[in-house]
């Protein structure tokens, strides 16, 4: 059976948001959700959504899941400095299987470090650039969507927990933080619109915000008195290596 749209990462925030948009706006016969865990089948089928088991680590499941797929949403595997080799291996497995199964169009969720440039030294972005190169060399039709930085993840970039009263940064600058919900909807709309063959797109909010402005908003909306302190890059590295809070919004 031909699958017009196959959505990977459908239990995650981004892929799940794309799936939610499809559920609300697209005929259920046109799309299928996938997960690396076959036990998740009921999560989707209980909502009336077709399901295929697809595990980036298992090429056999990839070949089966990608059979007769026209548009594949390739949601990047979990990123992190310690997982770079795993990311590249996972994506190579998917790209190879997509080529073998003649997938018509791969929509890849890349990352926006460095904007539309290809010279970022951020390790996570290097993994995404490597995947974009894989796609370019594969002969597959693809669109790389460089997704904006999640607004929900701002504490990570500030290295701040909500119970902390001091934010220490080596510098400040403007970031186009974008909500995951908006990124998911825009990604879904791009897929449904079609086109953008063999192109790299930058998907971010129209406005930017600095760390200082975020802290001001925190104080204005919560009544807190969070302070901002700037230190040298060397001092910052020493401090964060010893005590990286990696805050979250909870």
At 7 the pLDDT is 98
Instruction: With beta carbons less than 8 A apart as the criterion, state whether 95 and 106 touch.
Output: yes
CA-wise closest residue to 30 among 54, 9, 60, 6: 6
Check residue 78 and give its pLDDT: 72
**pLDDT at residue 42, as a whole number:** 96
Q: Quote the pLDDT of residue 114.
A: 83
State the pLDDT at residue 199: 97
Could you tell me the pTM of the whole model? 0.89
pLDDT confidence of residue 124:
82
Q: Which CATH class for the 3-148+179-205 domain?
A: alpha beta
Residue 26's pLDDT is 98
Structural contact between residues 230 and 170, judged by C-beta atoms closer than 8 angstroms = yes
The predicted-structure confidence for 167-216, as pLDDT tens digits, reads as follows 999 999 999 999 999 999 999 999 999 999 999 999 999 999 999 999 99
Given a contact cutoff of 8 angstroms between Cβ atoms, the answer to whether 34 and 51 are in contact is yes
Strands (E), 131-211: 142-147, 166-169, 199-203
Residues in Cβ contact with 27 at an 8 Å cutoff, skipping those fewer than 6 apart: none
pLDDT at 247 (0 to 100)? 42
Q: Which residues of the chain have pLDDT under 70?
A: 79-82, 240-250
């Amino acid at each position: 059976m031909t699958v017009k749209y196959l959505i990977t990462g459908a239990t995650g925030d981004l892929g799940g948001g794309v799936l939610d948009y499809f559920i609300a706006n697209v005929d259920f016969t046109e799309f299928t959700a996938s997960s690396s865990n076959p036990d998740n089948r009921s999560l989707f089928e209980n909502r009336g959504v077709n399901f295929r088991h697809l595990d980036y680590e298992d090429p056999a499941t990839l070949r089966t899941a990608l059979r007769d797929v026209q548009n594949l949403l390739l949601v990047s595997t979990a990123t992190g400095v310690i997982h770079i080799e795993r990311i590249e291996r996972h994506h190579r497995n998917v790209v190879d299987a997509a080529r073998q199964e003649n997938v018509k169009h791969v929509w890849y969720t890349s990352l926006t470090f460095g904007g539309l440039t290809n010279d970022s030294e951020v390790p996570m972005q290097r993994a995404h650039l490597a995947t974009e190169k894989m796609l370019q060399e594969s002969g597959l039709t693809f669109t790389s969507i460089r997704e904006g930085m999640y607004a929900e993840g701002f504490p990570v970039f500030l290295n701040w927990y909500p119970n902390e009263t001091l934010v220490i940064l080596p510098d400040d600058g403007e970031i186009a933080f974008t909500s995951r919900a908006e990124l998911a909807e825009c990604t879904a709309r791009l897929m449904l619109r079609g086109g953008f063959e063999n192109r790299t797109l930058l998907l971010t909010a129209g406005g930017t915000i600095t760390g200082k402005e975020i802290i001001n908003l925190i104080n204005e909306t919560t009544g807190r008195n969070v302070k901002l302190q700037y230190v040298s890059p060397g001092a910052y590295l020493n401090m964060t290596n010893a005590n990286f809070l990696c805050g979250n919004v909870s």
